[in-house]
Amino acid sequence: MAKKSIIDEICDYIKKQKLSPIPVQTLNEEAESTRYFGGDLKEFIAAAKTLGAKGIFVEELYLEDDEFYYDSGMDDDEYMALYGNENVECQCGEDCKCGKGKKKAKDDDSDVDAVYFEPEDLDGLDLTLLKPQMAKFLDRIGEACGARLTVPGVDHLEVEIFADWYDEFAELVDEASEAIEIDPTDALRQAQAVYEAEEKAAKAVKKIAVHPPKKTAKSKSKKK
């Protein structure tokens, strides 16, 4: 028998608790007031009963490809408001407050080409370069990874429940993102080193494929 998906397991549990799981698409978060629940599935169901719910909205969640790339949460407008035109020189001096000075080259002889990066400069960075273990989840893109449960009402009570494998994936994303936020410059160096190593390995494999091994003397003798 095929293994049940995370969404099937959640819906089955809701039914056993004498509640109706109601499949929905994304709720309009801008139009509705949402309160996020801090407990697990069992505790959420108990809270739903306390609130007198007869059913629960169930929105299926999927692993998306953009989750494999770093997102600082800063949009382009916020970036420009903070850093402005990068071509304009910072006038703050040593105690820079505008943020532009952080991007200037270090003034020392040991590494004259080094520059400072902010986490938002690395938006879109492939996180598998920092956490290669994440690559094993690439085949799961598009797969259901959890569900967003909502108790209908004036103030929606909401919780997100995820499959164990997604929790493992999310932990790796958090670790990679934290490395970027702690030291963006070092994280970029690490990512570049891994990328260059992968490119070198890929070229070596391609070279082997283009140039198959020579026939041995034994294989040649069989043709005679």
Identify whether 88 is part of a domain. yes
In the prediction, which pLDDT does 97 show? 47
Identify whether 90 is part of a domain. yes
In the prediction, which pLDDT does 170 show? 96
Is the whole model's pTM more than 0.85, yes or no? no
Identify whether 136 is part of a domain. no
Q: How far apart are CA 40 and CA 44, in angstroms?
A: 6
Question: CB 218: neighbour CB atoms within 10 A?
Answer: 7
Number of separate domains in the chain:
1
Identify whether 96 is part of a domain. yes
Identify whether 170 is part of a domain. no
Tokens (6 digits) for 151: 């108790």
pLDDT in tens, 78-93: 666 666 655 445 555 5
AA letter at 202: A
High-pLDDT (> 70) share of the chain, %: 69
User: Mean pLDDT over residues 62-72, rounded?
Assistant: 94
pLDDT in tens, 115-174: 678 888 889 999 999 999 999 999 999 999 999 999 988 778 899 999 999 999 999 999
Sign of CA dihedral 134, 70, 63, 195: negative
Query: Which range of residues forms the domain containing residue 91?
Result: 74-120
Stated as kind and residue range, the H or E segment containing 21 is: strand 20-23
In the prediction, which pLDDT does 210 show? 56
